[in-house]
Amino acid sequence: MAEQLWAPWRFDYVSKVDSQPQGGCIFVDLPAQDNDRENLILHRGETAFVMMNAFPYTGGHLLVAPYRHVSDLLQLNDQELLEINRLLAECTRWLTHAFSPDGFNIGVNLGRAGGAGIPSHVHWHVVPRWSGDTNFMTATAGTRVIPLGLDRAYELILEAKNAE
């Protein structure tokens, strides 16, 4: 018999997959707005920014993206590449201060076949990891349990960022 895990907050995600408006991109549209908290934007740099993943793999899952709408690493200029790498390092500092993870997964998925959920805009994932963060739910049901809400995670990361 199949078990069910009721997760109504996931509906926003599954109902929007592949339904991004033509020409729309969260990595362009959200930074153009003036509501960083609502849009989960934690940092704005000159050429790139950091935001929380609204549908995280673990609590504190961050995204780093250039403002320019490009789909490939080869389209980024040196200034963007340098700032993105600096932001990746800063993300690990903020997350370490906020959550004391045991490690990180940091990576970029290029193209739909490479696992990119938004293949038209290159972006990096910074995922804090803890020893033992895969529990019986992951092992037996293929389901992740995220014990930290987005609002609280945003506050903790912002506090860590501002404590520098």
Residues β-bridged to residue 66? 48
Average pLDDT over residues 9-38: 74
Return the CATH class of domain 24-162.
Answer: alpha beta
| 105-137: b (≥16 Cβ within 10 Å) or e | eeebbeeeeeebebebbbbbbbbbeeeebeeee
- How far is Cα 163 from Cα 142, in angstroms, rounded to an integer? 37
In the numeric block, which tokens belong to residue 2?
Answer: 């199949």
pLDDT at 8: 58
Strands, DSSP E only, in the chain?
Answer: 41-44, 48-52, 62-66, 103-108, 124-129
Q: Which residues are catalytic?
A: 123
Query: Model's pTM, two decimal places?
Result: 0.80
- How far is Cα 110 from Cα 122, in angstroms, rounded to an integer? 7
- How far is Cα 52 from Cα 108, in angstroms, rounded to an integer? 15
Q: 86-111 pLDDT, tens per residue?
A: 999 999 999 999 999 999 999 999 99
* pLDDT over 70, % of the chain: 75
pLDDT at 68: 97
Residues β-bridged to residue 104? 128
Which amino acid does the sequence have at 145?
Answer: V
Of 24, 23, 21, 28, the closest CA to residue 48 belongs to 28
Q: Burial-class residue 65 by CB neighbours within 10 Å (0-12, 13-18, 19+).
A: buried
